[in-house]
Amino acid sequence: MIADEADSAVRARCRAVLAGNWREGKRRSDGTPFAYTCPSPHHYPWQWYWDSCFTAITWRHFEPGRSRRELSSLIAAQREDGFIGHTIFWNTPLRGVRRFTYNVLSSGALMTASIQPPALAWAWSIAVGDPAQEPAIMAHHEWLAANRTLDDDGLLWIVQPDESGLDASPQFDAIWGWRSHAQPGYVHLVARNRQLRYDLRRILAGGGPVCCEPLTNVLYGLSRMALGQPSLTAAIVARLYDERSGLFCALARPASRRPPALTWAALAPLALPDLPEAIGRRLVEEQLLRTDRFWLPVAPPSVAASSPEFSRSDLFGPLRRRRYWRGPAWINASWLVWLGLLRLGYQAQADELARRAADAVHASGLREYYDPYTRAGMGARQFGWSSLIMEMIKPDPSAANSYLPALGAS
């Protein structure tokens, strides 16, 4: 792992960032109390759904009570029908150009009308307790099953790239084209989906596209298992796994005309504790550990280094628009594939991946993402979920089974 001095420095940085990003109070409109870790003070002031799931997991290393308060704030924002949005604004209203690019139904909305990968129940089980004892979390999953599934297999579908949390990932270029995240047509996509109230079936009936994406369904599957519900792993394999390439790929309706780019999302099922071993080993040995693809100094990059879409920059086009997830490495991605390495017995590689990620955090602080070759920090500073490095340098014995009870092979 990393030297004791570096370990202490990383731990201190994680605690300082989490504490510095902590926000609490009462919503002025109705007195609802809230407490959460904003992703980054200068760029992300609100509560983001999956960011809160990740930071709640790492708060347990410092002040476990804040884990419950963080996740309870997501529940406090829940609509009566069980829906919880991508972003909750609390007492900092949405202003400026973000009113046109955020998925709100009105300028005064208290949260977005779009989702993020539903990791709440899984995070609750890791950091707080049994999510099945929380009626609000059960209601949240009932809403997802009723409103974001299309077939009898239980898999979730998203209506915009950012609902995956992966925003401008090139896996979506073939699906949304010029309307992809941060492209000129993205504002039109938001306006159209706002008019259709982010309703999956109305959007599909209107021509789509809609997408069934690996990472979203991995986190949803982990949450379902945390609730004691039937595993989705068999459906993820049946619908999203390509035996010929050994990769998981997104589905789209209407179907895209070209194959998606090779991104780290193809490896995300490694986090599933019941992924068939043969599939997991193919992902590790044929993809993750390849130095021309994903096994870079900070691993994995968000796009395979061999892919023509791979870029170490996050700025694109003549206007230098920031487009995320197109090459740099993110700590949450490192953590999720690290879980698979542990489960499959690749202990040396898991330790090496953790060491490389910790070295990046030690060298550059908690940044939003990192240059996968130089370890240089990129994007937002004081970025909360990069504190997930704590899960890798202070591993929980249950991490090898994704913190869930042992399950049989799917």
pLDDT at 158 over 80: yes
Within a domain: 410 = no
The reported pLDDT for the residue numbered 407 is 59
Q: How many CA atoms lie within 13 A of 296 on its CB side?
A: 27
Give 10-62 as a DSSP string. Answer: HHHHHHHHHHHTEEEEE-TTT--EEEEE-SBTTTB-SEEHHHHHHHHHHHTTT
Amino acid at 115: I
The reported pLDDT for the residue numbered 1 is 58
Beta-carbon contacts of 242 under 8 Å, excluding residues fewer than 6 positions away, are: 248, 249
pLDDT at 408 over 60: no
Within a domain: 321 = yes
Which pLDDT band, with edges at 50, 70 and 90, does 405 fall under? Answer: confident
Within a domain: 48 = yes
**pLDDT (average), residues 243-263:** 94
Q: How far apart are CA 392 and CA 283, in angstroms?
A: 20
Condensed to tens digits (0 to 9), the pLDDT of residues 193-233 reads 999 999 999 999 999 999 999 999 999 999 999 999 999 99
Condensed to tens digits (0 to 9), the pLDDT of residues 279-300 reads 999 999 999 999 999 999 999 9
Amino acid at 189: L
Condensed to tens digits (0 to 9), the pLDDT of residues 382-392 reads 999 999 999 99
Condensed to tens digits (0 to 9), the pLDDT of residues 349-371 reads 999 999 999 999 999 999 999 99
Q: How far apart are CA 118 and CA 368, in angstroms?
A: 20
Within a domain: 103 = yes
**pLDDT (average), residues 151-156:** 96
pLDDT at 275 over 90: yes
Within a domain: 88 = yes
Condensed to tens digits (0 to 9), the pLDDT of residues 110-144 reads 999 999 999 999 999 999 999 999 999 999 999 99
Domain that holds residue 158: 4-392
Which pLDDT band, with edges at 50, 70 and 90, does 319 fall under? Answer: low
pLDDT at 53 over 70: yes
In percent, the amount of the chain with pLDDT more than 70 equals 98
pLDDT at 347 over 90: yes
Give phi and psi for 174, each to the nearest 5. -75, -15
The CATH number of the domain holding residue 155 is 1.50.10.10
Q: Contact, 332 vs 339, CB < 8 A?
A: no
pLDDT at 273 over 80: yes
The reported pLDDT for the residue numbered 318 is 72
Condensed to tens digits (0 to 9), the pLDDT of residues 86-118 reads 999 999 878 777 877 899 999 889 999 999 999
Mean pLDDT of the chain: 95
Q: Contact, 199 vs 157, CB < 8 A?
A: no
Which pLDDT band, with edges at 50, 70 and 90, does 372 fall under? Answer: very high
Cβ atoms < 10 Å from Cβ of 15:
17
Which pLDDT band, with edges at 50, 70 and 90, does 410 fall under? Answer: very low
pLDDT at 333 over 90: yes
> Tokens 């390495």 label which residue?
341
Amino acid at 307: S
The reported pLDDT for the residue numbered 381 is 97
Within a domain: 400 = no
In percent, the amount of the chain with pLDDT more than 90 equals 89
Within a domain: 408 = no
Amino acid at 394: K
Within a domain: 359 = yes
Which pLDDT band, with edges at 50, 70 and 90, does 5 fall under? Answer: confident
**Nearest residue to 333 (alpha-carbon basis) of 306, 368, 285:** 368
The domain tally of the chain equals 1
